[in-house]
Structure 1
Amino acid sequence: MTRYLKQNAVCVINCSWDVKELEQQLPAKMRRDLAEKKAKLFIIDATKIAVKAGLGKRINMIMQTVFFKLSAVMPYEEAVEMLKKSIKKMYGKKGDKVVKMNIDGVDASIAGIVECEVPAAWASLAVDTEASDAKTSTVAYAKGPRMFPEVQNASQFAAQVQKPCNNLDGNSLPVSAFVPGGRVPCGTSQYEKRGIAIQVPKVGMDKCTQCNKCSLICPHAAVRPFLMTSQELGKAPASFKEGSRSAIGGGVLDNYQYRIQVSPWDCTGCELCVRICPADALTLGPAEKAIQEEEANWNFAVALPDRGDEIDKTTVKGSQFQKPYLEFSGACEGCGETPHVKLMTQLFGDRLVIANAT
């Protein structure tokens, strides 16, 4: 992100860190860029401001206000007046309450801006370019230099094409890096691990009725039920074992243990699973904590044998034990289309032909 900064630029980071945490959280490459380019650095917790104003996760007006304040592209007072007029025009049909929430967000924005010192010593930081790989992101909860998890057994395409493109290095790729004809292999979304959610659902298995509705409605296939034998469960991480229960429903299910598992890196935080759960078994918690607790559990779960062929897939519950062929898409959080396509892949598997997937 900082490689494109010009000299004496202004850099604003939306994050939940305070000034003391910032040095620990920013990668060395990013800190060195800021110092070398003599950039001014500001932080703001726009999400916190948005929540307080009643806007939920919507930070667009808050960050727009920050832009006008720090960029000096036009007089700030004039810009804010125009911004508030545009709010009334855009959201007026939604009622005075929505208009007021957005204006309150604008008014609270400037007080939330914190300027951070950029020590000159940062310009001398040693950077392992291969290890850091410019790993900067908008993931406000990522820790240290490990901004994204390295996926084991990544395909050649993911390593040589997908990763550089995601790091905004696509222009540096030679033609020889691509498959002739421009074909892209399937299943590469599993390697992205975008980590864009601020809050991630946690399942209270004591409340869970094992209906699998949370999995059905998840647009990104980031919430799934898993079946495992007692022997397999014995090899699981401790928290995975604690969150597993005997499968209910009779028949072949009597042979297995059951668990709903969330992928914290693939969840987008849309909350649909929380809303649809008939037993209120899902609650939202900080994504940072979820990654620490659930990343290893997800990796264990997806390595379990696929037992979809043992279950009747013509029911809501049974369909969700089938592996989805559409997973971790780039669709917006809460997308209403991807659950339908995902379900089609679960019902028809590799017999399904999609003529147009734009």
Structure 2
Amino acid sequence: MIARVKRTLFSLLFCASLAAATTARAGEACAPATIAPSPAATGARVRDYAPVFESCAQGEAIRLVIRRMTIDGEKLLLTVDPRSLETTLERAACWRCAQTSEEEQAETRFLQAVRPPADPARPPALVNAGLIHGKGGGAFITGDLCPSHKPLDHAFIDEVAAQGPGTPLTLAVSGGWIAHHAEDFAWLQEKVRSGALAISWANHSYSHPYVPGLKDAQNYLLRPGVDLDREIFETEKLLIAHGETPSVFFRFPGLVADGALLEKLRERHLVALGADSWLALGPPPRAGSIVLVHPNGNEPGGLAIFSRLLKSGRMPKPFRDITEAP
């Protein structure tokens, strides 16, 4: 009798242990996807990349999906938390998805960031397209990495990181910059892995077209023949292939876009990111400012101003995550 009870207890414990292990393995399998950087060409790794707009559920978790893709043979989703605006790469097999619409999601914080109410007091889109000032205090520090033959300004990055572990920094990166600055990009990634910085990767187009002396209305992404989808998606794919997750923010080169270009961007469910304190050109920052500098080596004057403001205590603090701005 005692032996039989012991065998029964052992069986129950074994089954419980097996169930727990199975649940744990299932949980691990459905954790956000981590993409290991690889020397393989982006096109060979990231396939079937397509814009979508779907609402997906996993248990009680809800995400909006803006891209579907296949990476190294696995079907993945680029998802957005509609409340926090955080993006993650998720395994498609783990989520139940259905197509949604902007009307159905109109009350979410995400859609309100993508399509903010019209503000008659703000400049026209051609001058400074997108979100130009954030909510609350502190400052939102953003750096543009346009294509450049010059090295990354490490001193600026270190100055931001010196504010404390996990300091938020938004880098609007062009695909052309990543393609020619592999070592600098890997150095930035190490800053994130070490906990020194929390970098949000905004999209700054792939080629960042620009012709010196040409009027804005015919320049940048308004150049004839520019394919906005290619400019967006090639940079997103490049970030993903390098092990990073694109944010929902896109900064137009030169901050220049007309209404039609802005509408095309919103149809791809991205938030246009402007600035109200381009340090090399514009007014000094104030509470809630979206600060713009260029740490790609092309605009040292703005970085010098940033350093002076920081050392003199005139740079608003704390530095905040860009997802808190809309």
Q: Which has the higher contact order (CA 8 A, sep 6+)?
A: 2
TM-score by length of 1: 0.25
Higher strand share: 2
Higher helix share: 1
TM-score by length of 2: 0.27
